[in-house]
Chains A and B, each alone.
Chain A
């Protein structure tokens, strides 16, 4: 409001200074700031958009209706190396997204037990089985060598994305 008033005022001053053409001054329209939360939320559609349980719940439902996608001790009180685990998580998620293109039905669940990393993924049956086997072996070997820790992949196949509701 104040911005538009000041611009309008400026516009009037400009107008007063140089009257050349009528009604060609451009005003900047502003409105009040609308700081909506947009994090991890799927916006409602007409009722035809299928969403999974994970997508349907916003971040404020974590620990109430949702669990955590990544479990490790780094975020506990007095424990170290939370940042390193988070960076590893980001890489692992991107890696899985790229290695199984179009096959992932939902977010990856990462579990850490001592130095072992368990990657649990829900996959669609897009690829034939032998290709899945190859990708699993390839990912496990590559990631184990990369992180110098045992990395195990656990896949669960579903015929299609599990729909929680339509929004």
Chain B
């Protein structure tokens, strides 16, 4: 009798091997159990039903009695509440998803595998818990914990005026028991120099002190700190750096008097070689013409010299382009009375 049961089991489950199949063929003699098809007997025990019937049945018939309950999909309405089927992120349950999904590379002249027992469907992350209905409910529940955006801050300029300093930090989430990530200690502080109270000298000194951290096009100073192990330490350090830079740029040291022409950020015409050359030429010209040498201040006050000064400053600071060059040409011609 046991031998017959074993043979029957081997026919039904060709993958089953020797001792294990024998022991499981013997076990059903204790009483059949009915199975929920593809059910998940999780410890939470949600939605699983098993019924026990202790009936004495000969063991040859025993193996056919492990029947499963029909899947839950057959009892689902079309307009059911889906977020209660998948309230949280959960693996794919073919008995709970009423879609005829198929996945897998088909054999020749075949179709992809069905959803029951499909490992590929288990592997991929599914978003069955994130239907629009579910998300709408989440947002409605979260709304109670949100505060309104302040009505006074309705434009970018106002935000910048009241909150000139912007701090960028990043937090990292990864799978594993540890929340620590060394990349999260980086703090970036951005501020527009126009919102700081700096005079001409202080602004130039600050720009020289920070070097690469200042962007000329956007006038934004960016300070990135990551030398401390904690984010709040780096944030304090960044604010400290900003304070120190501000105060240092307002001070004038002794050695700043030795600033030469090469250190200048922009071209300054006063006391430059161009000014000297122009004035010397003009003085010589006037002296040759009329024999009376006008003073330098008088020459500086004339309109031609002003135009010349403006065009030279523009050329040197902004670079050479069509407009600047023509303006320079005109001013030189007028200066030397060639026009």
Interface residues of A (CB under 8 A from B): 50, 52-54, 57, 61, 65-69, 71-74, 78-81, 84-85, 101-102, 105-107, 109, 111-115, 118, 120, 122, 124-126, 128-130, 132-133, 136-137, 140, 147-149, 152-162, 164-165
Contacts and interface: CB of A to CB of B under 8 A. Distances in A.
Given A71-B125, A73-B174, A158 B20 contact: no
A112 B119 contact: no
A160 B68 contact: no
Contact of B113 (A124, A156, A164): A164
A104 to B, nearest CB: 11
B120 A113 contact: no
Given A85-B176, A157-B35, A111 B91 contact: yes
A156 B43 contact: no
Given A129-B50, A164-B104, A152 B42 contact: yes
B24 interface: yes
B159 to A, nearest CB: 32
Contact of B41 (A53, A79, A115, A132): A132
Which of A61, A71, A111 has most B Cβ within 10 Å? A111
- Give the interface size bracket for B toward A: 35 or more
Contacts, number: 135
Q: Return the 6 tightest CB-CB contacts between A and B, nearest first.
A: A112-B175, A67-B123, A162-B117, A158-B117, A129-B50, A65-B105
B68 A157 contact: yes
Interface SS, B side: loop
B169 interface: no
Given A53-B104, A67-B124, A102-B20, A149 B119 contact: no
Interface of B: 12-16, 20, 24, 27, 33, 35-43, 45, 50, 66, 68, 89-91, 93-94, 104-105, 107, 113, 116-120, 122-125, 173-178, 181, 183
Given A53-B120, A74-B176, A156 B40 contact: yes
Given A85-B175, A164-B113, A137 B43 contact: yes
Which of B12, B45, B117 has most A Cβ within 10 Å? B117
A158 B91 contact: no
Given A52-B119, A154-B40, A125 B107 contact: no
Contacts of A52: 119
B40 A54 contact: no
Contacts of A107: 119
Contact of B119 (A84, A114, A122): A122
A52 B118 CA distance: 10
Contacts of A147: 177
A52 B15 CA distance: 11
A3 B36 CA distance: 63
Which of B16, B37, B105, B177 has most A Cβ within 10 Å? B177
Contact of A109 (B16, B37, B119): B119
Contacts of A73: 174-176
